[in-house]
Amino acid sequence: MAKIGVTGHVRLDGTTPELVYQSLLSALREHATPAPHGVTCLADGSDQLFARAVLALGGTFDVVLPAGDYRARAAADGHLASFDELLARAGSVETMPFARSSRAAYRAASMHLLQRVELLIAVWDGRPSRNLGDTADVVDAARRIGLPVLVRWPAGARRLLSRPRARRTCRQDSYS
């Protein structure tokens, strides 16, 4: 069973969550038989869509949390139920040795994830890095260590580039 990791954008706009979910299902069917085993940091957006796609295909996943306070920071704005439901379904959960979430913690978690997988799926629009530990930074790190990277950004997908007051993410019931 191939171990597949994910990195990707958090703030997805409009119909993008459904487009990304379908693209992830397709990628996992192509690269993980009989059932996928994923590794994710379980952030809103792409990471949680990935976890749901893995489960939909009868697979399992492990979680790498960047810091002790990650649950409160990553699952803000009323998305704790979705985060907690997926976290409870994880095969294992590791937390990096950071008390507080930060760019360094996000990067450390992603680098740990890269060491645990054989393929990285990047839900990435191709734009360059803006911050340490963001999607482009993780893709670059994977390529530097020779890890295969499968980039998925479906036609019509859009992301929110500025931080909105209330984050919009996928509806939990849409991807089960």
Domain with 19 in it: what CATH number? 3.40.50.450
> What per-residue confidence (pLDDT) applies to 171?
34
Give domain status of residue 61, yes or no: yes
The number of CA neighbours under 13 Å toward the Cβ of 59 is 26
Evaluate if residue 175 carries a pLDDT over 50: no
- Residue 73: pLDDT band with limits 50, 70, 90: confident
Residue-wise pLDDT tens digits, 153-164: 999 999 986 654
In a domain, 171, yes or no: no
- Quickly list DSSP for 85-151: HHHHH-S-EEE-S-SS--HHHHHHHHHHHHHH-SEEEEE---PPPSSTTSHHHHHHHHHHTT--EEE
Residue 130 — very low, low, confident or very high, per pLDDT cuts 50/70/90?
Answer: confident
Residues spanned by the domain of 79: 3-164
Phi, psi of 85 (to 5 degrees): -60, -45
Number of domains comprising the chain: 1
* 7-64 per-position pLDDT tens digit: 999 889 989 999 999 999 999 999 977 889 999 999 989 999 999 999 999 999 999 9
Q: What is the mean pLDDT of residues 94-105?
A: 95
Domain presence at residue 172? no
Query: End-to-end alpha-carbon separation of the chain, Å?
Result: 22
Whether 96 is in a domain gets the answer: yes
Q: How many CB atoms lie within 10 A of CB 112?
A: 16
Give residue 94's region: left, alpha or beta (phi > 0; psi -120 to 50): beta
Q: What is the pLDDT, as a whole number, of residue 32?
A: 78
- Residue 175 inside a domain? The answer is no
Sign of the torsion formed by the C-alpha atoms of 158, 31, 148 and 103:
positive
Please check whether residue 59 lies inside any domain of the structure: yes
In whole angstroms, give the CA distance from residue 149 to residue 47.
15
